[in-house]
């Protein structure tokens, strides 16, 4: 039985271990499993066959597509999107004959607000993806990713910048760009390789 102050939906085939916490308005679909220490914020969505391990925290409005396992050490802030079959890891040097279980062995993978991960991408543990970073489908992420950066490939390399609404940003000579959907303005610092919003 999950603890919740308000309502959420869990399909009857989902397994919610005693002690997990699920925010109001969340939806948990077929064959999901939430371990006892899993915490979901409000309005999250877990597609079919999603596993959320002990100690994993998801913020509000986190959308997880089918077949994703979130292992201990993963943190997702609000509005994170995880495409189908995204792969997380939490031990960098696993060996079957060498037990490496528990917090001391797990590395953190931290996804800041608004990050999107494309289908079937793999995140090698120990990386931090800053706000609204975007990872293309099928990539292998091995390094930290700056805010608003678009990365893809194996290993993932930076190929530009994406707005908070998911549009490529084309910067002018003054380092300014505008999201074509929202009109929000962005400023590039090409020396520091950073992008910030101008509002």
Ligand X SMILES: CC(C)(COP(=O)(O)OP(=O)(O)OC[C@H]1O[C@@H](n2cnc3c(N)ncnc32)[C@H](O)[C@@H]1OP(=O)(O)O)[C@@H](O)C(=O)NCCC(=O)NCCS
Q: Pairing relation of β-strands 157-161 and 149-152?
A: antiparallel
Q: Least CB distance from residue 93 to ligand X, whole Å?
A: 26
Residues of 29-59 as b/e, b for ≥16 C-beta within 10 angstroms?
bebbbbbebbbbbbbbbbbbbbbbbbbbbbb
Q: Least CB distance from residue 157 to ligand X, whole Å?
A: 10
Q: Least CB distance from residue 7 to ligand X, whole Å?
A: 27
Q: Pairing relation of β-strands 109-111 and 128-129?
A: parallel
**Closer residue to ligand X, CB minimum distance, 39 or 156:** 156
Q: Return residues touching ligand X (CB under 6 A).
A: 83, 118-119, 136-139, 152-153, 168
**Closer residue to ligand X, CB minimum distance, 61 or 139:** 139
* C-alpha distances in Å from residue 112, one per residue of 23, 75, 129, 177, 185: 19, 8, 6, 22, 20
**Closer residue to ligand X, CB minimum distance, 2 or 82:** 82
Contact predicate 20/2, CB 8 Å? yes
Q: Least CB distance from residue 138 to ligand X, whole Å?
A: 5
Q: Is 125 helix (H, G, I), strand (E, B) or coil?
A: coil
Q: Least CB distance from residue 34 to ligand X, whole Å?
A: 22
* Angle made by CA atoms 134, 115, 62, in degrees to the nearest 5: 140
* C-alpha distances in Å from residue 176, one per residue of 161, 169, 187: 12, 9, 5
* Residue nearest ligand X by beta-carbon distance: 136
| Euclidean distance between CA atoms 49 and 17, whole angstroms | 15
**Closer residue to ligand X, CB minimum distance, 55 or 136:** 136
Q: Least CB distance from residue 62 to ligand X, whole Å?
A: 14
**Closer residue to ligand X, CB minimum distance, 2 or 58:** 58
**Closer residue to ligand X, CB minimum distance, 2 or 156:** 156
């Amino acid at each position: 039985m999950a603890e919740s102050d308000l309502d959420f939906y869990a399909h009857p085939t989902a397994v919610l271990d005693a002690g997990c916490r699920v925010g109001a308005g969340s939806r948990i679909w077929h064959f999901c499993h939430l371990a006892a220490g899993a915490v979901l914020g409000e309005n999250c969505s877990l597609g079919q066959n999603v596993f959320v391990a002990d100690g994993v925290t998801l913020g509000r409005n986190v959308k997880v597509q089918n077949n994703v396992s979130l292992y201990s050490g993963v943190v997702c802030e609000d509005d994170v999107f995880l495409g189908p079959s995204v792969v997380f890891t939490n031990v960098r040097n696993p060996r079957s004959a060498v037990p490496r279980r528990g917090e001391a062995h797990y590395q953190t993978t931290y996804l800041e607000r608004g990050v999107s991960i494309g289908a079937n991408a793999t995140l090698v543990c120990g990386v931090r993806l800053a706000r609204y970073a975007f990872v293309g489908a099928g990539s292998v992420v091995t390094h930290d990713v700056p805010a608003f950066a678009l990365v893809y490939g194996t290993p993932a390399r930076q190929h530009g910048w994406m707005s908070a609404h998911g549009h490529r940003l084309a910067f002018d000579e003054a380092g300014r760009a505008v999201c074509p959907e929202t009109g929000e303005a962005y400023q590039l610092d090409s020396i520091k390789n950073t992008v910030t919003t101008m509002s």
